[in-house]
Amino acid sequence: MVPGKALEGVAYVPALIGAVVCVGLIRSGFPAFFFLVPLGFMAYGYNRVSTWFALAVAVMGNGIFSLGLFLFFVGYHGWDLGWDVAYFTLMAVVFTWITAPPVKGPWLLRIPGAYRFIAGSVIGAVGFMLVVYTARDTTGFHAFMRTQAEMLRSLYVASSGTDVVRRSLVEQYLTPEAVMETLSFVLLRGGGAVSCLLIFFISRQISLVLARIFRHSGPGSSLMWFHTAPLLIWVLSCSLLGVLAGGLANLVVVEIIAWNMVILCAILYLAQGGGIVMHFLNRRALPPLMRLGLNGLIIFLIFSPGINVVALGGVILLGIAENWVPFRASQSDGPSSTPGM
């Protein structure tokens, strides 16, 4: 959000266009992954009032569209209507809160950006898991999840190539039911929060790039100054012990809670590591084209299997290492961030 733009009037035409594009993207197959980008563009290119107006129009438009499908298409079930409206509304509201937080109101609504990302990811993951749990026996949603599982299975089968033995094993053991069970296992253990975080972060980066290209505006790099609480390293250590203890003692609830704590700690250290990277990149002025290229490189790394794990893991370790190595010491004259020092 650009300072000074919070109190400007509503940009009605861009807001209406953004709302229409937002609803259109959620119905477009693979591009649905980017359905939040129009709201982010409104937040970074215009102002808070316009962004929340676009959100309201998008939510109403999606509800009307879903209701129309329910009334005029035989295969569209009542639960599909509720799931469409609930999922779209939850994700859109959370992302708008992340990118265009209110300037007044309760302190919890105005927490720093990195913590809004964390809280929003948790809210999105909890909402999705509630949908999965309540819709597990519902025809429409179950068919949707099964379709996604079959798509993943077909990708793995295709990747086995001409190896007959490998293809046979994949077809035998990698059933849609097994894929769905694995997805549920991962989602419960922090995968849901990570998925929501990636959706929010990628949408935010794309929105920021578009706002800088078409509106020559955008927020400052607040992530560059982000530091986690020193005690977080102890929370991470205890959570790792909880994962180990829960697995050895077969305490599923303890293991799930511990895994989610580990993931949340990792996300915070990822933000801190990203701040360190941005600190070094901003030590010298970079041309606008190079900055856009770096944003594109970040998105490419996130989408690259294998490479993304190594890159993100390295940034997380960099964030953890700052507990002992003051990478940004020149920006702070305070005490060491090392726990207990």
pLDDT digits (tens, 9 = 90+) for 94-114: 999 999 998 887 877 878 777
Give the predicted TM-score (pTM) of the model. Answer: 0.74
Residue 20: band (very low, low, confident or very high) from pLDDT cuts 50, 70, 90: very high
Q: What is the pLDDT of residues 148-200, one digit of tens each?
A: 666 666 766 666 666 666 667 666 666 666 766 777 788 788 888 888 888 89
pLDDT above 90 covers a percentage of the chain that reads: 24
Q: How many helices (H) and strands (E) does the chain have?
A: 13, 0
* pLDDT above 90 (res 236): yes
Q: Which string of b and e fits 245-274 if b means at least 16 CB within 10 Å?
A: ebeeeeeeeebbbbbbbbbbbbbbbbbbbb
Higher pLDDT, 206 or 93: 93
CA dihedral 112, 240, 125, 25 (to 10 degrees): 80
Q: What digits encode the pLDDT tens for the residues 268-321?
A: 898 888 888 877 777 666 676 776 677 677 767 766 666 777 888 888 999 999
- Higher pLDDT: 340 or 145? It is 145
